[in-house]
């Protein structure tokens, strides 16, 4: 069985060079030797687990370093192998990533605090090298696939943690297929009757939607004489997310989206013109996320059109964005500065939350809001975009824009009207900051702000006064 899986992994990694395959096989042997004699709760040899994690990452065409770390991710935690041995055999970066994936010894630490300590360690390492998060997600996915053998009192909290933490983390770094499967498995363990019901609802509607999609493709192909559009498909949210949206009052048809792919970003606008010439566009529903960047790797246009008397959302993007949808973080590992890539995907909230939290539990409570909250985009009068967690206010916006400016803020206008500094901002608002020649920030502002960066900067001002 082990040799069969090792052969399968080698075959799946044929995108690697011959020299890299040799290095991967050496890591397989090292991991197998380290885990020799160990078994999982399933009764399988333990080495099956890291091999399965590696297979998951290979589906994304993960780089060699990620694959080696996936094979070794439990070696230090569960065997006599040390980090120094890992570094000696595979280098400093592999040792750094494996350390980030290795839990602390539990000792007498309470369960809640122990989980928080390990989460803080994971994210603190991931902000330095995003591959830590990617490997942890693949590890969680395989554990979810084998969760059936666990006792019910273990399954429920594990599935719940998967939905609250790991699913949004997968979405954050673009591993959408992992996100979808994580949500599907977790939802089935938390509420099987609702899982079956909503799965059928979504599947039934998908069959009906295929008629609309077919008509869209047919009409567009007739008018797209220059073959601007190279691919069209339908997408829907993961099942648990769909369930939540429906529970909040969203209509099922609004959960389905037609995605159109073009060669270049410029071609997206040509495709938009073609679509609007065929189908009636819905007024005030166009969003341009190419000209106004909200995500570092997702550039697209959103429009809504009427097809068969039904309002349909269409997202238009280029091949580069399509590639990120497919491979997520692994589509951008060629960037030489890994920390820069990690911060582009995770943002700067991890650093700022660490600086103001007193302990790991406080860190986890704050980071769950900032990292995984829905985001809004707010603009300066010059149309510079600032991305904030939903429910942020004018003070949060000002500190995200420029802390020195924010600390001297006297008043602000939102969409041309003077508003209280505590005003909660909405997506696409335009905010104009007016300042005085002296510091105006004070401790009372701490009662109203949502973001850790604002808290950190205000505390600096208050401490200096």
- Which residues are the active-site residues? 77-78
What tokens were used for 253?
Answer: 């048809």
In sequence order, which residues have a C-beta less than 8 Å from that of residue 60 and are 6 or more positions away? 134, 175, 327, 328, 330
Q: Which of 89, 63, 60 is nearest to 76 (CA)?
A: 89
What tokens were used for 261?
Answer: 């792919």
What tokens were used for 276?
Answer: 């609007």
* Residues paired with 387 in a beta bridge: 377
Q: What is the DSSP letter of 29?
A: H
Phi/psi at 422 (5° precision): -85, 5
71, 171, 291, 340, 389 from 346: Cα distances, Å: 24, 11, 22, 10, 13
What is the residue whose two structure tokens read 């073959």? 227
Q: Which of 128, 131, 137, 77 is nearest to 102 (CA)?
A: 77
Give the number of other Cβ atoms within 10 Å of residue 119's Cβ: 18
Give the number of other Cβ atoms within 10 Å of residue 293's Cβ: 14
In sequence order, which residues have a C-beta less than 8 Å from that of residue 296 and are 6 or more positions away? 344, 345
Q: Which of 292, 5, 271, 330 is nearest to 137 (CA)?
A: 330
Q: Which of 366, 335, 329 is nearest to 351 (CA)?
A: 366
Q: What is the rounded distance in angstroms from the CA atom of residue 144 to the CA atom of residue 154?
A: 12
Helical spans, DSSP H, in 127-191 = 131-145, 152-161, 167-172, 176-190
In sequence order, which residues have a C-beta less than 8 Å from that of residue 15 and are 6 or more positions away? 61
């Amino acid at each position: 069985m082990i040799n069969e899986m090792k052969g399968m992994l080698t075959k799946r990694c044929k995108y690697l060079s011959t020299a890299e395959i040799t290095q991967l096989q050496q890591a397989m042997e090292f991991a197998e030797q380290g885990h020799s004699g160990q078994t999982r709760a399933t009764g399988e040899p333990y080495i099956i687990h890291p091999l399965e994690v590696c297979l998951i990452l290979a589906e994304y065409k993960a780089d060699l370093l990620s694959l080696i770390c996936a094979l070794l991710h439990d070696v230090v935690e569960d065997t006599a192998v040390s980090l120094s041995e890992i570094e000696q055999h595979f280098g400093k970066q592999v040792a750094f990533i494996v350390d980030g994936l290795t839990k602390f010894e539990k000792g007498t630490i309470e369960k809640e605090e122990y989980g928080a300590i390990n989460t803080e360690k994971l994210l603190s390492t991931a902000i330095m090298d995003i591959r830590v998060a990617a490997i942890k997600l693949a590890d969680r996915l395989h554990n979810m696939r084998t969760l059936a053998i666990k006792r019910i009192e273990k399954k429920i909290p594990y599935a719940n943690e998967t939905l609250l933490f790991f699913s949004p983390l997968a979405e954050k770094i673009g591993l959408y297929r992992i996100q979808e499967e994580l949500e599907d498995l977790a939802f089935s363990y938390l509420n099987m009757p609702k899982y079956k019901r909503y799965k059928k609802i979504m599947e039934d509607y998908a069959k009906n939607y295929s008629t609309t999609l077919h008509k869209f493709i047919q009409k567009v192909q007739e008018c797209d004489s220059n073959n601007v559009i190279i691919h069209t498909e339908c997408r829907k949210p993961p099942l648990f997310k769909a369930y939540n949206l429906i529970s909040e009052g969203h209509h099922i048809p609004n959960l389905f989206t037609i995605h159109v792919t073009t060669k270049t970003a410029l071609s997206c606008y040509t495709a938009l013109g073609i679509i609007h010439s065929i189908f009636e566009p819905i007024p005030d529903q166009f969003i341009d996320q190419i000209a106004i960047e909200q995500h570092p790797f997702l550039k697209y246009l959103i429009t809504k059109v009427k097809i068969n008397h039904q309002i349909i959302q269409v997202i238009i993007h280029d091949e580069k964005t399509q590639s990120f949808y497919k491979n997520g973080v692994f589509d951008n590992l060629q960037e030489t500065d890994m920390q820069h890539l990690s911060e582009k995907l995770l943002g700067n909230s991890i650093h700022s939350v660490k600086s103001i939290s007193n302990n790991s539990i406080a860190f986890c409570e704050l980071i769950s809001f900032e990292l995984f909250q829905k985001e809004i985009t707010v603009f300066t009068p010059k149309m510079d975009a600032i991305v904030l967690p939903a429910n942020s206010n004018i003070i949060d916006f000002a500190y995200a824009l420029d802390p020195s400016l924010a600390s001297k803020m006297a008043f602000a206008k939102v969409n041309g009207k003077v508003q209280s500094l505590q005003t909660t901002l909405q997506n696409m608002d335009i905010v104009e900051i007016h300042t005085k020649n002296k510091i105006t920030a004070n401790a009372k502002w701490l009662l109203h702000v949502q973001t850790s960066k604002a808290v950190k900067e205000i505390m600096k001002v208050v401490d200096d006064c």
